[in-house]
Amino acid sequence: MWLIHKKKIHDQTDEWLLEDFRKTGNSSSLGGLFDRYSHLVFGVCMKYLKNEEDAKDATLQIFEKLVVDLRRFEVKKFSYWVHSVARNYCLMVLRNRKAMHYYDDENSPGVDAFVESHQQSHLVEHDEDEARLQLLEEAVKTLNEEQRMCIEMFYLKKMCYQDVSEITGFDMKQVKSHIQNGKRNIKIYMEKKANEITHT
C-alpha cells in the first residue's frame, strides 16, 4: 500500500503536488517535491557555500522553510522558484558570515570596542533608532498583503524585482507599484505617529 501511494506521489506534476500540499498540508506531497528537487537545491548551495556539510544543512533548512512559505505564496513554477529561494538563502548566509568575520577579525575594532566607544556618545541616538525600528515594524504590519509581501522580499530578503515577481505571481509593473505604494503608506503611518507623539 505504501509503495502504491509513493508511486502515485511521484507520478504527479509539480503543480498537483503544490496544490495538494497547500490544500491538505499533506507532507507526502512536499516530500515528493523534496525528492525531485533536493539535488538541485544542494547544487545551488554547493555553488555558493563551497562546503558539502554546509550545503546539506542549508538544503534541509530551505525545505523546512518551504513548509511555511508555500502556504503564504502562490508559486507558479516550483523549479525556478526553489532555485531562487536557495540562492537568496545562501546569499543571506554569506552576508551574515561576512558581518561576523568583520567583528571577529583581529584587525577590526571588534564588538566590545564598538559598544564601548558608542554607548555614551550615542545613547540617545541609539534609543531613537530603536524607536524608529519599532515604528517601522508597526507600519509594515498595517500594509495590505500584496504590499507587505513585496516590501519584505525586496528590502528584508534582498530579492530583485524579477525574483519577487516569480514568487508572488505579480508582473514586474505590479511589483514596483506595490513597493512604491507600500513605501508611501509606511511614510504616512510613521509621520502620523510622529505627530501624535509630538502633540501629546
Verdict on whether the full-model pTM lies above 0.85:
no
CA–CA gap between residue 189 and residue 145 (Å, rounded):
16
Q: Which domain holds residue 197?
A: 119-200
CATH number at residue 98: 1.10.1740.10
Q: Do 107 and 186 sit in the same domain of this protein?
A: no
| pLDDT tens digit sequence for 81-135 | 898 889 888 888 887 666 544 433 444 443 333 333 333 333 334 445 566 677 7
Sign, Cα dihedral of 71, 31, 62, 86? negative
Instruction: Give 119's DSSP letter.
Output: T
Q: Do 22 and 88 sit in the same domain of this protein?
A: yes
User: Which of residues 92, 116, 140 is at a domain's end?
Assistant: 116
Q: Do 39 and 76 sit in the same domain of this protein?
A: yes
User: Domains in the chain: how many in total?
Assistant: 2
Terminal alpha carbon distance of the chain: 69
Residue 98 confidence (pLDDT) = 62
Phi-psi map region of 12: left, alpha, beta (phi>0 left; psi -120 to 50 alpha) = beta
pLDDT at 177 exceeding the cut of 90 = yes
* Cβ atoms of residues 80 and 66 within 8 Å: no
Q: Do 200 and 178 sit in the same domain of this protein?
A: yes
User: Which of residues 55, 88, 116 is at a domain's end?
Assistant: 116
Q: Do 6 and 86 sit in the same domain of this protein?
A: yes
